[in-house]
Every structure is written in C-alpha cells, then in structure tokens.
Structure 1
Amino acid sequence: MSNLARRLAERDAEIGVIGLGYVGLPLALAAVRAGFRVTGFDINPDRVARINAGEPVMAHLDTDGLRAALATGRLRATADMTGLSRPDAILICVPTPLTRQREPDLSYVEATARDIAATLRPGQLIVLESTTWPGTTTEVLKPILEATGLRSGRDFHLAFSPEREDPGNSRYALADMPKVVGGDGNIARDLACLLYDGIVARTVPVSSTAAAEAVKLTENIFRAVNIALVNELKVVYDALGIDVWEVIEAAATKPFGFMPFQPGPGLGGHCIPIDPFYLTWKAREHDVVTRFIELAGEINRRMPHYVVERLALALERQLGRPLRGARILLVGMAYKRNVDDVRESPALKLMDLIEARGADVTFHDPFVPVIPPTRAFPHLAGRRSTDISPQILASATAVLIVTDHDGVAYETIVRHARLVVDTRNACARAGLASETVFKC
C-alpha cells in the first residue's frame, strides 16, 4: 500500500476543499466528521472569516455542525492559495456556469488548476467535483497541472467525482449518498474511492473520468427533460381546463412505469438549467445534434413568459384590470423551497418581465432578505424582502407564488389577497381552496 493510500485508509490524510459554497462546505464538514483534517480554500475573504467564526453562511447549512467541526481543531478556512501544497488530497468544488452565449465557462476551474499547479507536489490526489462536459478532467485540468513537469499517474493522481449535493434536502444527507468515482488511471480511481469510502456510504467506481462526468450530466438532463415534459403538459391541460397537479398525483399511484415530476415557473439553481448545455456544446464538437435536450431547454426557458401571460389573464378575468399599473407581490425569490440560493432563479426573470409590462413588483422571501448581485439581473440587486401582513396583502393587486417555502403564511395570503396566482400548487397542498386562487 502506498503512503497516500495508507494515510487515506487511516484517515490521517489532510484534505483540501477549494470552493466553500453549497457543495464544498458541506463536503468539508462531512470529511471532518469522518475524522479527516480539512482546510477549506475560498477566494472570498469575508466568507472565510465567517466560516472560521462559526457564523451561518447559507440557509440550509447545519451551523451547529460547522461549530462542532471547528471545535475539533480539524477544520479551518483560508483565502491563501499558497497553502495548497499541504493537503494530501485536493477536492475542487468551484462553479461551472454558462456564458451569455450558453457555452461552458470553465474560467473558475482553469484558475483553480493554475493555483494548484503553482504548489503541486508529488504524491497529491486532485479530484474535480464541479459539473462539466465529458473530457474536462483530462483535456483541461490535466494539461495545466502537467505543465509543471509532473505527470498524472506517475507523480500525482487525478480523478473526477461529481457532486450530488441537494440543498434543503433533509432526507438524503451528503454522507448517505453513493459517490461515483472515475480516475485518470486505475490507481487514481482507487485512491479517490479510498478517500470517499471514508466519507460517504458507498462509492461507485466507473471506467474513466469521462464516464464519471457523463454520469452527472445524465442525472441532470433526466430531470431537465422530465420537468420540461410536465411543464408542456401543464400548458396543454391549462388550455383544456384540467388541473395538471391532480393528474400527476393520480398518475403517481401507478406502482410501475411512471415517475412524478412537478411543473413550475421555470428552472433554477446551479445544475439543471445549466448542465444539459455542457453536453450539447460538447456534442457539436463531434457533429452530433442534441435536439431532445435543446427542446427541453427551450420549453423550460419559456415558462416565466407563460406565467406572466397567465398572471395577466387572471387579472383580467378575476379583477377586470390589466397588468400595467398593477401592484404584484411575488412570494419566493430563491430557486427552490427552503434555501437562500437565487442562482438562475425564475423569480428574477419573472420580476424583470412583469416590470417590463408596467407593473410594480415587490417580493417576500424568508430566506432571501436582499437580492444579491447576479450576472443576468444586476439591476435587481439590493432589493429587500417585505413582510407579509394583512395590510400589505390587501394593498397588492395580486400575489404571485413562485417558490413554495415551508413556513410561509399561505392561509393569511389566501384570506387577505384579492388574487393569488399559484405556480407551485402551494395553496392546494396546504388545504386552502378559494375562488381567489388561480393555479398557473
């Protein structure tokens, strides 16, 4: 057994986690709980300081768990990338967004690779967790690291293991999730499996880093395509006067051959709206057309526009007035329930579209007190969440439910709002029926 393998097996190795966001920080905490020493690296010094102080940095994070990890003395965070020579294994958990032209933006991965290369030493294990197109690990990351003169498989080891973090999911914790692992060679794969075997319930080795990269894309494309399907069904059933949620609930009673997905106002988050286009981009390089994936993306991107049209229709039918000049209270700014993440959130697009139609928009979100800066909607940054009260609800022309957070006073909304347009079926799920509720 090599020295690195022995240290991983005995949990005597030090782990470095680059990127202390929604993926990296939970992974760092899980590694500490498993007995490893962990140094977290992040380019945001404010976030580093708050983590080291044990302050909450995201809504769904177990802050008590963070403080317990710090108390062990085995966790620290730093913005100093020169310390990357110290960890025995380095896990890369940085963003992989799209450009405005919907092409992969690997600038964070490339910058991180250069930081690692500056201090790379023999014997280190480097694992990329960021979602990307098949081939990235060996075609982008590996050449940057090998420009040092060190060679993958001989001097250092390189692997890919896709993150499967699901923010706000209380049923499946990171440590309970099987971990797919692919290596640049069998030794790298086995070392990465040895590392993750100490952190998660089970590892699933695959034949290559490209196969592991494809696994992650397949998981998210599966969700994107099926969400597009139920979104399209919602449009059809709306036209037929049929409640799509009732149909899905009844169909889900079939014990085989059907898996329920829920429609909504559009896709959000750091995975599903983005990851499929990493594969469509790579497919074009091989002269392959991904019509099915691109159609799903088109349907999902159109949903905010459909919601605005349904909102305008509801105002006309229920209140006899146009959208222009209306006061709309948008409930939910995060992309999914019970998180504070607004990345790619359809709520941002909806706020922009509704205001473009001449309406005034405010929002309420218990997890998002202030809209942070975003690349697509910088002009919305700084807007603050308003409280929900009978007076505020009564003063709004309509309430648009975009994110179905738990703990929102839906009963108060239905009782006091003149019109409620519900894109998540939140009112019905809460047992609230009223002529003022318009499903969308």
Structure 2
Amino acid sequence: MKLLNNLLKLLEQKTATIGVIGMGYVGLPLAIRCSEEFHRVIGFDILQERVQAINSANSYIEHISASSIATAREKGLEASYDFSRFSECDAVILCVPTPLNKHREPDLSYILSTMEACSSFFRPGQVISLESTTYPGTTEEILRPLIENKGLIVGEDVFLIYSPEREDPGNQMFSTQRIPKVVGGSTVQCLKVGLALYSKVVDEVVPVSSTQIAEMTKLLENIHRAVNIGLVNEMKIVADKMGIDIYEVIDAAATKPFGFTPYYPGPGIGGHCIPIDPFYLTWKAREYGVHTRFIELAGEVNSAMPLWVVDKITEALNRHQKAVNGSRILILGVAYKKNVDDMRESPSLELMNRLLERGAHIEYSDPHVAKLPKFRKYTFQLNSIDLTPTELASFDAIVLATAHDAFDYALIEKHGMLIIDARGYYKNSSPKIVKA
C-alpha cells in the first residue's frame, strides 16, 4: 500500500516524472500535453533524428507546431534514446507501432523490443500504460508476465494499465486533452493509478472493468469505421454500374435525423488504425474458433478499392484512345486523409504502385508532402510538383486521391484534360470529370 499511496500522491500533486515511449503521431502530442501538467516529461524514441528535433524545439509532424514543442521544452519536456532512463520515470506510457506482418497477423515486435529494452530498469512504484492498439489479452498475456518475471507483483509493486490511443491528426476540434480516455487496469489498484494519471491530462476519463475491455473497445471503434466504409465503397460500385451518383445519395440520406450516419467512399482506406486494427481481432478470434466473416469481407472490399480506381482510370483513358502504358498521370494527394502529412497506409501509394506496374509515368502533387520518404513496400523517388496551368495540361489524366483544401480545384478543372475524381469533390457534370 505504501508504493500505491506514494505513486498516487506524486500523480495527484503532479510531481511525477512521466515517460512516453514513441514520439510519433500519438506519443508526441501526448508528451506535449503531459508537459503542461507535470514538471518533468521524458519522450523516448529509437530514432535519433526525432530526439534531436524535439530537444532543438523543431517539429517533424506538420500539424504539431515547433512553438508548441518549444513551450513544452520550457516546461520540462526532453527527449532521449537512452532507455536506462526508464528508471527515472514514475509513469511510463507506451505509444509504439503495432503493424501487421506480410501474412496479416499481429506484429508485436515493437512492444516486445521496447519492453525488453526497459525490463532491466523496472522498479517498484511505477505505472506502465500500453496505448498501442492490439488484440484483447495482450496486456495480461504478454506485458504482465514480462513484468512479473522480474520479480515484481502487478498491483502491488508495479501498476499495469491499458488505455487505447485516440488521435485524429489534423482535427482541430479534438486535441489530446479533449478526447475522452478509456482506461482499464490489471487490478483494482492498477485502475486507480491509471485514473489518477490520465485525469490530469484529459478532460474525461472512462474507467472500464479490465484491460481486455479497453483493448476490445479500441478495436470496436475502428472496426465500426472499417465496416461502414466497406459498405459504402461497395455501394459506390453498385451505384456506378447503375449510373447513380453515390455522393448525392449519401447527402440525401444524411438528411434523416435518426438512424443514419454518413460515411463516404474513396480510393481505399488509410492511416495506422482502420486498415490494420480489424485484423487484430480476426486473428485473435481464430483462437476461439470464430470466423469474423463480416470484418474480413469489409477488409476485402476496402483493399480492392485502389484496383477499382485504376480500372476506372484505364476505362477513361481508353475512351480517349489512350493506354495506361505510357500515359502521364498525376496523383493529387498522397496523404491518407486531407489536410495532413500522414501517409501511413495511404491508398494513394497503392494506387501509384499499380499504375506504375501498368507502365504509367507517375507524378504527384501534395501541399503537405514535399518529398516521398522511404517505404517498406514501395520504392518511389518522387517530389511534389507545383500545379501550374502548363503542368496540369501536360498530363493525360489527373487523379484526385486526397482532397486537400489547399488545392485550387477550379484551376485543376480548367486546365486538366481528364480528371478522375476518387473523392467526390466535383459535384458538376462534365465530360472531362470521371467519378471513381
């Protein structure tokens, strides 16, 4: 009880040292927010350039300003790649990636390597929180044994919680502080500590009865989106065959004040969560003899969207007596959603790759992504081009893949020879605009 009470006191008085592991789209804004409340925050990352950027008050994520990092530095935020400093922290929050492997199975290697790097520096009186999206049971089946193998008792010596990250990059309405936080603990004492920690940095904390409930909550949130996007993507294909504008249909249906939530189709789904998280539950469900047909079907529909758009491009070029092979095609937007620089799992990248495989000459323009970085799956070496009348007129086809607000859509329509609209931006009917 002494360790519990001491930790609760540190959290209540905001004198605890907070460690956030993983300074990406989730970890960095969380570390900045923690610095506003606690005296000392250490942001850990294995990437030296991120550590140096934070300590120099520079931003590497577009929607996070350098000034906000500078303010956090003044309040006590520092970054480090020295995991021995884990022992300095009273609370440690893990915000590391949880991708899928090539067989679409959960890849927990980042969690495992992080825990291995930190395990020598566990000490009594710490709270460890996992925020990375994962399958129900990960906290109890993976993290808890790793901690207890060090001779520490969870709930007495160390306090273990799961609190799923909720971030919407670029959404100004919902900051880290304003998004309600679900928290589940390994024990009642763990939950008590988790609530004490997160109640200082978010406006609303939602306690649940176990870490498994919290883990499943995150999956349900993202599966809900994935399934509904899969449904509307399938509806788009049916409507296209019938010569019906699916976007007008959705807008009309959205006038119903109850029982309907509008979701919009596109060239696929992107971001770290929606394309990946459903398969975490699919994989775990097999252990219980359950085949998640609904979830997998939505995944198949959404994964097929880039190819469907490529086929629409092919048909449109054919009507102009051109082939994809040899055509110059401009992709508008490589981020996975509008007005951000986040390219994680962006369908634009798969779209570009498939067009290249068919022999197209590809360029792209994105006001938020000046140069394509290295990817595990793709080998692009391209820089964003400026949209001038001459450039626009030089392409055989222009594909609107991500509808950034910064694009001059009137200029694009005026000078583009053929526009493939995969986002439903253009409402007018024009021979040069093809809905995809």
TM-score bucket of the superposed structures, by smaller chain? over 0.9
Q: Secondary structure at the match of 1:426?
A: coil
Q: 2:141 and 2:173 mapped to 1: Cα distance?
A: 36
CA contact (8 A) 1:114 1:145 kept: no
**What pairs with 1:17-416 in structure 2 (closer than 5 Å)?**
17-72=20-75, 74-317=76-319, 319-377=320-378, 379-380=379-380, 382-416=381-415
Q: 1:213 and 1:62 mapped to 2: Cα distance?
A: 31
What displacement does 1:433 show? 5.6
What are the ranges of 5 or more consecutive residues in structure 2 without an aligned counterpart?
Answer: none
Q: 1:409 and 1:71 mapped to 2: Cα distance?
A: 39
TM-score by length of 2: 0.97
Q: Secondary structure at the match of 1:11?
A: coil
What displacement does 1:36 show? 4.2
Q: 2:137 and 2:38 mapped to 1: Cα distance?
A: 32
CA contact (8 A) 1:116 1:145 kept: no
Q: 1:182 and 1:31 mapped to 2: Cα distance?
A: 19
Q: What code does the residue aligned with 1:33 have? A: E
Q: 1:98 and 1:423 mapped to 2: Cα distance?
A: 26
Q: What code does the residue aligned with 1:243 have? A: D
Work out which of the residue numbers 410, 424, 431 in structure 2 matches 1:435.
Answer: 431
Q: 1:280 and 1:388 mapped to 2: Cα distance?
A: 43
Q: Secondary structure at the match of 1:2?
A: helix
Q: Secondary structure at the match of 2:177?
A: helix
Q: Secondary structure at the match of 2:24?
A: coil
Q: Deviations over 1:7-38 (max 9, x none)?
A: 11111111000000000000001111224421
Q: Deviations over 1:247-281 (max 9, x none)?
A: 10110010000000010000111000000000000
Q: 1:34 and 1:143 mapped to 2: Cα distance?
A: 32
Q: What code does the residue aligned with 1:51 have? A: I
What displacement does 1:362 show? 0.7
What displacement does 1:147 show? 1.7
Q: 2:369 and 2:425 mapped to 1: Cα distance?
A: 19
Which residue of structure 2 aligns with residue 9 of structure 1?
Answer: 12
CA contact (8 A) 2:57 2:66 kept: yes
Q: 1:321 and 1:261 mapped to 2: Cα distance?
A: 34
What displacement does 1:322 show? 2.1
Q: What code does the residue aligned with 1:415 have? A: K
CA contact (8 A) 2:16 2:38 kept: no
* Mean Cα deviation higher: 162-171 or 145-154: 145-154
1:173–1:339 CA distance, 2 compared to 1 (3 A): same
Q: Secondary structure at the match of 1:351?
A: helix
Q: Secondary structure at the match of 1:159?
A: strand
- The list of structure 1 runs, each at least 4 consecutive aligned residues, that deviate by more than 4 angstroms after superposition, is none
Q: Deviations over 1:155-204 (max 9, x none)?
A: 10100000001111111111001100000001111111111111001100
CA contact (8 A) 1:181 1:192 kept: yes
Q: Secondary structure at the match of 2:230?
A: helix
Which residue of structure 2 aligns with residue 417 of structure 1?
Answer: 416
Q: What code does the residue aligned with 1:4 have? A: L
Q: 1:227 and 1:4 mapped to 2: Cα distance?
A: 43
Percent sequence identity over aligned pairs: 50
Q: Deviations over 1:387-433 (max 9, x none)?
A: 111111111001001011111121111110001111112233xxx66
Q: 1:357 and 1:78 mapped to 2: Cα distance?
A: 45
Q: Deviations over 1:286-329 (max 9, x none)?
A: 11110000000000000000000011111223x23222211100
What are the ranges of 5 or more consecutive residues in structure 1 without an aligned counterpart?
Answer: none
Q: What code does the residue aligned with 1:372 have? A: P
Give the root-mean-square deviation of aligned CA atoms.
1.1
Q: 1:178 and 1:23 mapped to 2: Cα distance?
A: 15
1:195–1:36 CA distance, 2 compared to 1 (3 A): farther
Q: 2:429 and 2:388 mapped to 1: Cα distance?
A: 20
What displacement does 1:434 show? 3.6
Q: Secondary structure at the match of 1:145?
A: helix
What displacement does 1:358 show? 1.5
TM-score by length of 1: 0.97
Q: What code does the residue aligned with 1:223 have? A: R
Q: 1:184 and 1:404 mapped to 2: Cα distance?
A: 43
Q: What code does the residue aligned with 1:14 have? A: T
CA contact (8 A) 1:85 1:120 kept: yes
* Mean Cα deviation higher: 225-234 or 347-356: 347-356
CA contact (8 A) 2:17 2:38 kept: no
